[in-house]
């Protein structure tokens, strides 16, 4: 039975399709840039330039992630996950599921908390200067502070879970030398 699961079946793909890989790498880049901009803006004097402009870009990227997340989630449900050549252990599979569930939750909570912070604080909600998102919460100092506090700690959570994610991928790639990285990497690199 084990030998059968390790053999490639004709026409079966062991990598995520191009759309899922595109979502993964695009959102990874957006999140990393948004985190970097948020950290950089925190060191700038409030209410001054370039902090305002940096935060406008930061918010635009965060709201883009928020808009892409349901598309990615639905596509993932529809497209499913590729087969493994060698299935992981039950505990490794459970750990991966928990990590991915945590990442999805954090990818939702981080921009939502940022939105609450900005909207309740009376700050703008721009999207790359093209339009502004509607304010769905009242201007309320206490709510804005709660949004800020949540955004701050959720950002730390995202950083922590992303670091674990990268370490897990490195462990799979360099220690275990299995197929995990190749599943999300461009097809040629995975098959090469």
Q: What is the largest CA-CA distance in the chain?
A: 65
DSSP structural state of residue 83: P
**What's residue 84's pLDDT?**
85
Over the stretch 123-161, which tens digit does the pLDDT of each residue have? 999 999 999 999 999 999 999 999 999 999 999 999 999
Q: Does 119 have pLDDT greater than 90?
A: yes
**What's residue 181's pLDDT?**
81
pLDDT tier at 9 (50, 70, 90 boundaries)? low
Over the stretch 44-76, which tens digit does the pLDDT of each residue have? 999 899 999 999 999 999 999 999 999 999 999
**What's residue 12's pLDDT?**
61
DSSP structural state of residue 140: -
Closest CA to 78 of 37, 160, 20, 127: 20
The residues near 74 (Cβ < 8 Å, ≥ 6 apart) are none
- 115 in Cβ contact with 66 (< 8 Å): yes
């Amino acid at each position: 039975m084990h030998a059968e699961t390790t053999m490639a079946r004709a026409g079966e793909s062991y990598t995520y399709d191009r759309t899922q890989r595109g979502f993964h790498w695009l959102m990874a880049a957006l999140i990393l840039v948004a985190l970097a901009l948020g950290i950089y803006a925190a060191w700038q004097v409030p209410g001054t330039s370039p902090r305002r402009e940096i935060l406008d870009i930061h918010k635009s990227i965060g709201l883009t992630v928020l808009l892409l997340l349901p598309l990615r989630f639905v596509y993932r449900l529809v497209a499913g996950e590729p087969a493994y050549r060698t299935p992981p252990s039950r505990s490794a599979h459970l750990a991966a599921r928990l990590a991915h569930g945590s990442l999805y939750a954090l990818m939702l909570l981080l921009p939502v908390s940022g939105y609450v912070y900005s909207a309740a604080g009376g700050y703008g909600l721009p999207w790359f200067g093209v339009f502004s998102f509607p304010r769905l919460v009242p201007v309320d100092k206490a709510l804005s502070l709660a949004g800020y506090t949540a955004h701050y700690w959720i950002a730390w959570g995202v950083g922590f879970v992303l670091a674990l994610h990268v370490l897990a991928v490195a462990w799979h790639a360099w220690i275990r030398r299995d197929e995990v990285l190749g599943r999300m990497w461009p097809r040629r690199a995975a098959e090469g």
